[in-house]
């Protein structure tokens, strides 16, 4: 077991010197990035990354096209996916040395009616890692509305992002959009930690939304987790800010039992996914509860 008290007393990074890191125990050989961020210690879903607004005034109400089947959308979606495959994937590999442990593609045939992937939310291109592991199959995912007003709005929308409505009236078309996607056998993805904490090691507490959707649609949940490696060799040339290399670890599908009460099954899916991700991250004692 790695001695975290020794580790945290000999590093410069603020993040690895907080209470949660001192409570954590990891397996021998697990690399913990010394990243200089003061992570929250009381709210695991608190937003700490700022949004770069693009000045767009957007109403996320009942009139927003949550599922857009227009020619314009399909054209932008095509260009987005092409850019993702030809540019973003190689850049992700060059800068972050992305490796994939496990075969996520195999489940595309196993679950032809769709599945739900979940992953820890730890850097800007973590979704690209999941898409890479899936062979860049279409994946749809709920996102905060602010992302539709950011400078990343074009990428987020046309890669498959569906914003959470900001009005009660918008919830009906939002839910109908995912109902139709499920009918088409599409895959879905959710970051159950909700907010992105850059290169954070512990697995944070989960929101129920992903697992409620999985139960509703009787979809398997496939946990994935990003872990870290130190920069070595040629990768040292591409970043000087202590940014680690990343590995996407693919877990085992968890199947919902829709004959059982929703509340019980949602809780089971959440807890089993969290436990798998903690194990795959090499964490022996995780400081955050599952929920």
Q: 173 pLDDT band (50/70/90 cuts)?
A: very high
91 C-beta neighbours (distance < 10 Å), count: 12
- What are the tokens at 15? 């993040």
Residue 12 has pLDDT above 50, yes or no: no
CA distance 71 to 248: 34
Q: What is the rounded average pLDDT of the residues 133-138?
A: 91
Using one digit for the tens of pLDDT, what is the confidence trace for 100-121?
A: 999 999 999 999 999 999 999 9
Q: Which pLDDT score is estimated for 14?
A: 58
Residue 1 has pLDDT above 60, yes or no: no
Q: What is the rounded average pLDDT of the residues 126-132?
A: 95
Residue 10 has pLDDT above 70, yes or no: no
The more confidently predicted of residues 33 and 249 is 249
Q: Which pLDDT score is estimated for 83?
A: 94
45 CB-side CA count, 13 A:
12
**In which residue are the tokens 């949004």 written?**
51
* Average model confidence (pLDDT) across the chain: 90
Q: Which pLDDT score is estimated for 4?
A: 39
Domains of the chain: 53-283 (3.40.1130)
Q: Which pLDDT score is estimated for 16?
A: 67
The more confidently predicted of residues 272 and 167 is 272
**In which residue are the tokens 């992302």 written?**
147
Q: Which pLDDT score is estimated for 260?
A: 96
Residue 184, CA distances (Å) to 7, 109, 138, 154, 202 in order = 49, 15, 12, 24, 35
The more confidently predicted of residues 48 and 220 is 220
- What are the tokens at 203? 């697995």
**3-class secondary structure, 213:** helix
Residue 251 has pLDDT above 80, yes or no: yes
Residue 35 has pLDDT above 90, yes or no: no
Q: What is the rounded average pLDDT of the residues 73-94?
A: 94
CA distance 251 to 223: 5
């Amino acid at each position: 077991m790695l001695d975290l008290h020794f580790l945290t007393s000999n590093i410069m990074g603020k993040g690895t010197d907080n209470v949660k890191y001192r409570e954590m125990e990891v397996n021998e050989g697990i690399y913990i990035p010394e990243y200089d961020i003061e992570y929250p210690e009381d709210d695991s879903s608190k937003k700490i990354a700022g949004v770069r607004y693009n000045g767009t005034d957007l109403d996320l109400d009942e009139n927003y096209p949550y599922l857009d089947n227009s020619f314009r959308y399909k054209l932008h979606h095509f260009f987005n996916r092409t850019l993702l495959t030809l540019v973003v994937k190689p850049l992700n590999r060059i800068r972050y040395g992305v490796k994939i442990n496990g075969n996520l593609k195999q489940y595309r045939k196993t679950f032809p009616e769709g599945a739900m992937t979940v992953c820890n939310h730890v850097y800007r291109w973590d979704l690209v890692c999941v898409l890479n592991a899936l062979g860049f199959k279409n994946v749809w995912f709920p996102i905060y509305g602010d992302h539709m007003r950011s400078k990343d709005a074009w990428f987020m929308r046309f890669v498959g992002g569906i914003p959470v409505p900001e009005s009660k009236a918008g919830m009906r078309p939002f839910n109908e959009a995912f109902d139709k996607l499920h009918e088409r056998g599409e895959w879905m993805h959710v970051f159950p930690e909700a907010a992105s904490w850059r290169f954070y090691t512990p697995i944070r507490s989960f929101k129920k939304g992903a697992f409620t959707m999985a139960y509703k649609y009787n979809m398997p949940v496939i946990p994935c987790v990003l872990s870290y490696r130190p920069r070595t060799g040629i990768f040292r040339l591409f970043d000087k800010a202590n940014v680690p290399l990343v590995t996407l670890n693919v877990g085992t599908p968890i199947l919902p039992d829709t004959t059982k009460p929703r509340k019980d099954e949602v809780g089971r899916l959440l807890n089993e996914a969290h436990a798998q991700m903690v194990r795959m991250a090499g964490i022996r004692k995780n400081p955050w509860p599952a929920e």
